[in-house]
Each structure stands twice: as C-alpha cells, then as structure tokens.
Chains A and B, each alone.
Chain A
Amino acid sequence: MLGHILGRLGQALLVMLVMSALVFVGVYAIGNPIDVLIGPDVSQDIRLDTIARYGLDQPLYVQYFTFLGRILQGDFGRSFVFGMPVLDLILSRLPATLELTLAAVCGAALIGIPAGIYAGYRPDGLAAKAIMTISILGFSVPTFWIGLVLIIAFAVELQWLPAGGRGETFAVFGVEWSFLTANGLSHLLLPAANLAFFKLALMTRLARAGTREAMLSDTVKFARAAGLSEWTVLRRHVLRLIAIPLVTVFGLEFASTLAFAVVTETIFSWPGIGKLIIDSITSLDRPVMVAYLMLVSFVFIMINFLVDLAYVGLDPRLRRAGSR
C-alpha cells in the first residue's frame, strides 16, 4: 500500500521533471529571449552584458540546471510586464481562479450526477430525453459563446447580474474570496455557470452511460432478485459501480477547468491566472508563461495523484494489488 503511494509519488516527480524540461526548451529555446529583454537599438556591449547576466551564453543544459535550481528555491524570475516576482504575481491571482473553478466543478457534479443517474435509470422517459438534449448542447456549444449569451441575457437585457469583475471580496487568512459576500457571489454566479456548463454536460452523460450499463448488469438483476428496493439498488449498488469513472472525470475535469478558465476569465474580466496567461502570451512575458505552465503542471499532477489514491480507496481490487 505504502509502496504503491511511494511509486505514484515517484512517478509524479518524474513527470514534473519532464515537464520542466519541456517547458524550458519550449519557452526558452524557441525564439530568442534577448530580443524581448532589451530593445533592438541598444549597444553591443549592453547586449553582451545582458546575455552574460542571464547566463544565455552557457550551453543549454547548464542553463536548464540553473533554471531548475532557481525554481527549486522558489525563484521564477520577474515578470517583464509587471516588473514584480512572478511567483507573487501568480499567487495573488490564484485564489480567484481556484474559487471559480471549484464553484464550477462542484456545481456541475452536484447537478450533473443526479440528473445523469436519473436519465440512465429511465432512459426512455421524457425527462431523460430532455436531460440528454440539454447535455448534448452543453457538450457542443463552445464555452466562450455561452459566456457571451449569458452576458447578453442576464447582464445586458435582464440586468440581474453583473457582467464582469470579482465584486466585493472578504479576506480569510489574507486571501480574498468573492463567495463570502452577497455582491461577490452575484459576480461569481455567471462566470461559474459559464464554466460549469460543459462539465455539467460531461458529468451527466458519463453518469447516464454508467447507470445504463449498470442497470443491465447481472449485479443489479441479482440485487433485484433478492428483493432490494429500487432506491437501495441505485444508492448502494449503482452508485458504487459508477463511482470510479466519475471520480476520474471529476479530477481530470478539475484540471481542465483550470485551463478553460482562460476563456471564461477573459470574457468576464475575472482577475485570475487565466487572464494573466492570455495577457502574458500576447505580450510574450516569458517568466509568467513558464511559471504558469509549471504551476498548472504541478496542479494536474497532484490531482492525478489524488485521483489515483481515490481509486485505491474506492476499488477493493486495487487495494489488494497495492498491498502485495
């Protein structure tokens, strides 16, 4: 069991290392950072001096190890645009994105999973058909377009909810949260709904497919033959049978929602890291890009690791394999 966890942790570290190399090569080696650091009209001396100062005259692997060493000390460099340490910049924006992502993914799971189970339980019913129609829309319609429609409908026409920004926040342990104030919550609602829509469709479809298969399985038939009520069959048997794919998707989708927040944050001017990365891409702010990618990789790997642990908790067959 412990060996299994250690193994997974080792794998995670390896993946982080590979990612750091990829990011380094991708962002630093393609194109010349020196052109971004200094203007084209500076003298040759200053140019050489800058190259030496940034260690750009060193061989690539030396540069990589320097880069790796600095990262391990928490030094991601300074943003070209904001002129502040990248780590501080990102950490100041991270809570906003986490808040948005969590709200979206949890909302999607809380609505999507029960709806999907119902649609899978009575696949020929009218409600199931309605649920599936909505889900195929959610699955198909690009997130950014739904964002636009939400703004037009709820912010412009109905004027129920604000169209952008974070609203008032409330600080807990020095971190600002929107959902703790009524005003902040009203700002959170639209972007979270926007971001949740695709996930909602995905969770619904997954829960429905799993339930449909489980309902046809011998396990469910045998449980019914033993006289279990439909509610018990659903709650105790079906839910356990479909839990693993749901947890997988919950984890993976949390990660991908973090990435998709880029779109939603742009539309709703939500001051999170998604907005930051788009800005840094357009302004070629490399340190921010690198730090963002490393951070997101780290979050993904941690989530994958947690999902793996959840598997072991959920599936007794793995528990035994792990203990061997």
Chain B
Amino acid sequence: MSQALPTKEPLPAKEVSPTARFWAEFRESKVAVGALVVVVLMLGVAIFAPLVAPQNPYDLANLVLMDARRPPGFIGSAGYTHILGTDAQGRDLFSAILYGLRISLQMGLIAGSLAFTVGVTLGVGAAYLGGRWEAFIMRVVDLQLAFPAILLALVLSALLGQGKTQLIAALAAAQYAYFARTAHGAASAERSKDYVEAVLSTPLPAWRVVLKHIFPNCLPPLIVVATVQVASAIALEATLSFLGVGLPVTEPSLGMLISNGFQYMLSGRYWISIYPGIALIVLIVAINLVGDRIRDQVNPRLKR
C-alpha cells in the first residue's frame, strides 16, 4: 500500500541532472546551507592562513615572551590587537588557530581520502567479485568494525611512532572499514538492480559496469560516510594529539593547541584552550550538519 501523491504524465521540460536535483533539495534546508558556507569559509582561511593571519606563529623571531598568556583584546608589542589573546609562548592565538586549522583539516582530508579509496575499492570489489573473496574481505572488515577506531589509532600511532605520515596511516587504518562496509552494502544493492543486470546482459565489460554504473550510484551514501569520517578523523587526530600520541610538537594542530592550553585553564587563562576548541567544534559541527542533511536526502524510507 502506498499513499503516493497522484502524478500526471508531464513531459520533462528541461534537463535536470540528478546532481542538480540533489543540490536543489539540499538547498531547502537553510541550516545545511549555512553549515556548508561555514565549512567552505574555514577551508578558505585554512588554505590562505599565511595571508589571513596577522602573524606567522611558528616563526620564532615573531614571538615575544613578554606578550605571553595575554587575554583577548591585548595589544601586543608588534602593535596589533591579539583578538583572541596569546598563548604561553606569546603567540597570537588567532594566528595559531588558523595554522592549527590548516593542519587539522589537512590530516582529516588526507586520512579521509585514503580511507575512502582503500575502503571503497575493497567494498565495491567484494560486492562485484562475490564468493570467497567477498566473504573474506567483509569478515575482516566486520571484525575491525567491532573495535573502536580510537583504540586502533591509539595502538597504531604508539607502534608506528609520532609523525604526520604515521598518524595519517593510523587514522586511515582505523576508518577505512566504515567506507568498505557502506560501499559493500550500496554496491551489493546496486548490483542486483535491474539496470545493472541490463548492462550485464548487453553485455558490457566488467570495468565499465563497475565504474560507470555501480560506483556512481553508490556515491550518495558514501558521501554521508565521508562527511562523518572526515569530521571524526579531525576529532580523532585532536584527541590523539591531546593525549600526546598524535602529531609531533612541530605540527601543532588544533588538538595540540587545546592540550597546550589545558594546564593554564585551572589558573583562569581559559582562552588558550577554549578558543582553539571552539574553532574545532564549529568545524566538526558544520561538517556533521552537512552530512546530516545529505543522510536525510538519501534515505529512501523517509521519502514519500
């Protein structure tokens, strides 16, 4: 039984691609559009941090110890206002946050892309190949999914040692399984659909079936997972850095800024830790809001 709305048989007036339709639907949610704007803005200031920031916070020549731990609004010896205050080394916190954002985003995006590539290849591959390979790959993935990502990342980063590459590897290893599971589910569903069977019976070569037919139709749920995973990679990196097993001190991400400020928190110098935290949260919340909207859009069971 369906209480579907009655439709007449209108002829398509103009070409509307699925992507355009998706975007039009996305725009119906003001919150989601706002969140997307925030994500793009933060990405922009992170990329152009050297141009936007009043100071290069890691050029030691710029640091004046006298300016250390000053509250927001303090006008430092360089003559400009530290709108978010300064940290223990006398860094302009606003600049440090912009550079931290740059590192955090970099880690999240690189680890996310790596996890995406590995996971989707495995998941779609398993769904297409079927049989023993499918069973084996998905068994490993399921096994790994039972273990929390943070534990895996923690152990891996402890084993591999500190460093950007090591951390990216640890994050990607902890997250690829989510992509693999989702890609496998979506690809299995698509593979049994009539249009795939139709191209199989044409017949078309396997690579073409996978790349042109199955993969593009698996994208919507994968985009949802990608938003969640990039957000959680950023959070995970911050957590690991906070625990002191993430990035080395030479790569101060937002998590490390928060961690560095932690000890000053109890003495009332809240800004050193709180402002990087707010930047981190705004970023993650915005990414998750975008992902949430897309999740609602791609859920067929909520469609009327």
Contacts and interface: CB of A to CB of B under 8 A. Distances in A.
Interface of A: 15, 18, 26-27, 30-31, 136-137, 139-145, 148-149, 151-152, 156, 163, 212-213, 216, 218, 221, 252, 255-256, 259-260, 262-263, 266, 277-278, 281-282, 289, 293, 296-297, 300-301, 304
Contacts of A140: 231, 235, 281, 284-285, 287-288
A55 B143 CA distance: 31
B4 interface: no
Interface string B1-28: 1000000000000000000000000000
Contact of A142 (B155, B273, B280): B280
Contact of A144 (B239, B284, B302): B239
A148 B258 contact: yes
Contacts of A262: 150-151, 154, 243
B110 interface: no
B128 interface: no
Interface stretch (B114-122, B186-194, B217-225, B262-270): B262-270
Contact of A136 (B143, B159, B280, B288): B288
A156 B266 contact: yes
Nearest to B234: A142
A15 B145 CA distance: 13
A278 B245 CA distance: 9
Given A212-B302, A278-B243, A152 B270 contact: yes
B83 interface: no
A143 B235 CA distance: 9
Indicate the size class of the contact surface on chain B. Answer: 35 or more
A300 B147 contact: yes
Contacts of A304: 146
B146 to A, nearest CB: 5
Interface in B228-277: 231, 235, 238-239, 242-245, 255, 258, 262, 265-266, 268, 270, 273-274, 277
Contact of B277 (A148, A213, A259, A300): A148
Given A26-B159, A142-B238, A281-B154, A136 B292 contact: yes
Given A260-B148, A260-B150, A136 B285 contact: yes
B277 A145 contact: yes
A53 to B, nearest CB: 25
A16 to B, nearest CB: 11
Given A26-B155, A30-B159, A262-B150, A218 B242 contact: no
Contacts of A139: 288
B212 interface: no
A137 B278 CA distance: 12
B151 A259 contact: yes
A194 to B, nearest CB: 13
A145 B273 CA distance: 9
B158 interface: yes
A279 to B, nearest CB: 11
B146 A300 contact: yes
Contacts of A149: 274, 277
A144 B277 CA distance: 10
Contacts of B280: 142, 145
B245 A281 contact: yes
A156 B302 CA distance: 45
Q: Which 8 A-B pairs have the closest CB atoms?
A: A256-B148, A259-B151, A259-B148, A140-B284, A140-B285, A281-B158, A142-B235, A145-B277
A141 B281 contact: yes
B30 interface: no
B147 to A, nearest CB: 6
A296 B277 contact: no
Contacts of A266: 243
A137 B155 contact: no
B137 interface: no
B301 interface: yes
B239 A256 contact: no
Nearest to B237: A142
Given A142-B280, A213-B302, A148 B273 contact: yes
A262 B281 CA distance: 21
Contacts of A213: 301-302
Contact of B289 (A26, A136, A142, A163): A136
Contacts of A15: 143
Contacts of B146: 252, 255, 300-301, 304
B163 to A, nearest CB: 15
Contacts of A30: 159
Interface string B287-302: 1110010000000011
Interface in B85-142: none
